[in-house]
Amino acid sequence: MTNHNTAPIGVFDSGAGGISVLKRLWALMPNEQFLYFGDSANAPYGTRPLEEIRALTVKAVEHLLDEGCKAIVLACNTATSAAAKELRETYPDVPIFGLEPALKPAALSGVHPTVVVMATPLTLREEKFRALTERFEDLCELIKLPAPELVELVEQNKMGTPELRTYLEDLFAPLDRDKIDCLVLGCTHFPFVKRELRAILGDRPVFFDGAVGIAKYAKLVLDLREMRAPLEAEGEIRFESSDPEKLPLLRQLFSFEL
Ligand code: DGL
């Protein structure tokens, strides 16, 4: 056993979206300490140039490591695309978990299903997603749907508002909604608008996101590396944000039913 076991697990997102991942991590590992850092002062990341996102992500992860985190969860598809590889090279001893849009389970869920992948523009144009596309595009009808303003709408807590509804209506207007079999929520902010998406798209599409998968994988790796907190330990979550005004939103979203 290492002596790091009771150190926190750092969870990072450009803002409040990573709370959708934190909820899954907490459900599986309630005996762990978690330190959540949302970089809301700099969100959204997904419309910024790659180098800027990489620098912001590295800075945030350095902060979490300075706080003594034993592992890092990049609860952000965009930050993962921009910086996971470099971070793993820089910190080979720290488990660094990253996210990618859940295209694989969606593509494999039926016979040539129509799969819409919603994500930030950066996630959809970067190498990581291109490699994923090459593996699965023959198995489905793939439609990429960048949703650049949706991150801001969630950051501004616009869930349930007509403004959000109109944005989503416009976003899906060019698509034949009745043909969508799978909707991949390729950004951790998007599970918070599932209700609105369901209202627009109806019952047909199955929604996919990577949060449960990354939580299970993180638990498995930390177990195997004997880096877990003792089972009888009492877990705790600490929230931090580069924009302190967003702290109430982080707590509110943690109680949001997904
Ligand atoms: N939650 C981030 C993701 O999963 C959003 C990135 C952004 O700030 O644009 O991609």
Domain range annotation of the chain: 9-99+211-254, 103-208
Ligand 1 atom at shortest distance from the alpha carbon of 13: 1
Question: Which backbone phi and psi does 220 adopt, to 5 degrees?
Answer: -60, -50
Q: How many C-beta atoms lie closer than 10 Å to residue 219's C-beta?
A: 16
pTM for the full predicted model: 0.97
Given a cut of 70, whether residue 3 has pLDDT beyond it is no
63-116: pLDDT as tens digits: 999 999 999 999 999 999 999 999 999 999 999 999 999 999 999 999 999 999
Question: Would 9-99+211-254 and 103-208 be classified into the same CATH topology?
Answer: yes
H-only helix segments in 29-76: 50-66
Mean pLDDT of 133-140: 97
Q: Indicate if 69 belongs to the active site.
A: no
Any ligand 1 atom below 6 A from CB of 188: yes
CATH number of 103-208: 3.40.50.1860
Any ligand 1 atom below 6 A from CB of 17: yes
CA angle 103, 112, 190 (to 5 degrees): 30
Given a cut of 80, whether residue 206 has pLDDT beyond it is yes
Ligand 1 atom at shortest distance from the alpha carbon of 75: 4
Mean pLDDT of 228-235: 94
Mean pLDDT of 134-155: 97
Q: Indicate if 187 belongs to the active site.
A: yes
Longest dimension (CA), the chain: 55
- For the chain, the average pLDDT equals 96
Lowest mean pLDDT among 2-11, 48-57, 134-143: 2-11
CA–centroid distance, 37 to ligand 1, in Å, is: 13
DSSP letter assigned to residue 4: T
CA–centroid distance, 237 to ligand 1, in Å, is: 21
CATH 3.40.50.1860 holds for 9-99+211-254: yes
Which has the closest alpha carbon to 12: 70, 86, 73?
Answer: 73
* pLDDT score of 2: 45
Any ligand 1 atom below 6 A from CB of 54: no
Any ligand 1 atom below 6 A from CB of 13: yes
- The amino acid occupying position 147 is A
Residues 6+ apart with CB under 8 A from 255: none
